[in-house]
Amino acid sequence: MHYCQSNTVCVNLPGSHRCDCLPGFIRVDEYSCTEHDDCASGQNVCDENAICTNTIRGHLCTCKPGYVGNGTICRGKSLPSRLTNRPQTCLHTL
């Protein structure tokens, strides 16, 4: 009889066994594993302007509001050209 807990797989060895963690999980003790949080640990590739969401087998990066991209690279949204191509007059008063 083995004592491997959830999130592990039991590996039979001659006269013994070993509990290996499933992908995406980290060892707690000899018999159990817990989910690894890529976001909390900082072990992710999300852009600084992205939101990291932990998933069962990894993480998901999503650009924050006001930014576009794939989550790994996020850039600020551009203003529509109708707003940026107009001549601007600046008035500085004291």
Residue 86 in this model has a pLDDT that exceeds 70:
no
pLDDT band at 41 (very low <50, low <70, confident <90, very high): confident
Do 43 and 73 lie in one domain? The reply is yes
Domain count within the chain: 2
Do 12 and 26 lie in one domain? The reply is yes
Mapped onto helix, strand or coil, the DSSP state of residue 82 is: helix
Do 31 and 44 lie in one domain? The reply is no
Mapped onto helix, strand or coil, the DSSP state of residue 25 is: strand
Mean pLDDT for the stretch of residues 31-49: 91
Mean pLDDT for the stretch of residues 68-87: 76
Answer for the pair 15, 37: CB distance below 8 angstroms, yes or no.
no
pLDDT band at 56 (very low <50, low <70, confident <90, very high): confident
Do 28 and 54 lie in one domain? The reply is no
Structure tokens at 85: 């191509």
pLDDT band at 18 (very low <50, low <70, confident <90, very high): very high
Answer for the pair 84, 90: CB distance below 8 angstroms, yes or no.
no
**Nearest in space to 59 (alpha carbons), one of 84, 42, 83, 76:** 42
Residue 16 in this model has a pLDDT that exceeds 70:
yes
Answer for the pair 75, 64: CB distance below 8 angstroms, yes or no.
no
Is residue 51 one of the residues assigned to a domain? yes
Is residue 87 one of the residues assigned to a domain? no
What is the extent of the structural domain holding 15? 8-36
Is residue 32 one of the residues assigned to a domain? yes
Do 15 and 44 lie in one domain? The reply is no
Is residue 28 one of the residues assigned to a domain? yes
Answer for the pair 4, 31: CB distance below 8 angstroms, yes or no.
yes
